Amino acid sequence: MVSCTTDGFISNEPDMDTTSVDPNNVFSFLYYNTRLKLTGVGALLEKKYTEPKGVISWRTRGQLGLSGGIKALTGYQRHESIEETIDKVNKSFNDSKQIAFIQTSLRSAKDIYQNGGHSTLKLEERIFNLKFDNRREITDCKGTYHITKPFIHCLNSSQNRLIASLGGGRYRKYSPISKTHCKGDAYLTLTRRMIVRLLRDEELIHVKLNRLDIFRVLKEIGLKGSLNFISKQKGKKPIFNSIPSTEKTLVCLKKLNVLFPNLDPRILLRK
């Protein structure tokens, strides 16, 4: 068994869909009869999908099929191909075990009613956490990956889940876009933050810039900034494919490309 959630599970056991109900097993018998009444299908299990290549699994609700058929990434909004997602997941296992991304949603009806305006897009920066959730017992380590098995006693499970809950939740927000996200400058706010991080990354721009240099660059491409804001972006990596393509964001990125011809700012644009 790989994982088990509310509406299904992933397993490498063959022919599980042919398993017949055991009248002596109370739970399977109740499940069988309930499904029969609801759907008219007299079967205990139903096969949803067969993964031919393999599955990457890192937590209860974190699985990714290598061929793209299984995508259990609770909390993560994908804006890339399955190959790119697999590459991100593999790299994060050997790094911070986190993937930064931009979550998109629409303004709520309550927000529009209280503050006016229209149903516009909201952008929020989030971290998708791939750290192990301690809901299974680790029995062996194979380099980056671990072999696990279900806990035998519920007390051991409760103890490990308590340990996993210390220090934060499933994913956390950092540097979120302010409450002006429904205004016209929301995309520029995100653009400014990503450009600052880009300019602080010597590997990407092949030159070392200090805070004052970055401040001057922002001013030249038409973005407001402060030395304090630039300092807050230290150590944070730019999120590629995060900025929506609008007239204002494209103008800023084109000006940036003029200043840094060897840098392709399109890596920041959402595909």
pLDDT at 179: 41
Q: How large is the average pLDDT for residues 249-260?
A: 94
> What does the pLDDT read at residue 167?
59
Give residue 168's pLDDT band: very low, low, confident or very high (50, 70, 90).
Answer: low
> What is the number of domains present in the chain?
2
> Where in the sequence is the domain holding 240, given as residue range(s)?
184-268
Q: Are residues 158 and 198 in the same domain?
A: no
Give yes or no: residues 210 and 165 share one domain. Answer: no
Compute CA 91 distance to the chain's CA centroid, rounded to the nearest angstrom: 14
On the question of pLDDT at 198 being above 90, the answer is: yes
Distance between CA atoms of residues 268 and 271, nearest Å: 9
Can you say whether the dihedral through the CA atoms of 194, 196, 198, 201 is positive or negative? negative
Per-residue pLDDT tens over the stretch 200-212: 998 888 889 999 9
Residue 34 has pLDDT above 90, yes or no: no
Same domain, 172 and 192: no
Measuring CA to CA, which residue among 94, 83, 73, 104 is closest to residue 143? Answer: 94
Final residue of a structural domain among 131, 162, 180 = 180
CB 252 within 8 A of CB 195: yes
Residues 130 and 168 in one domain: yes
**For residues 229-233, average pLDDT:** 92
Does residue 177 surpass a pLDDT of 50? Answer: no
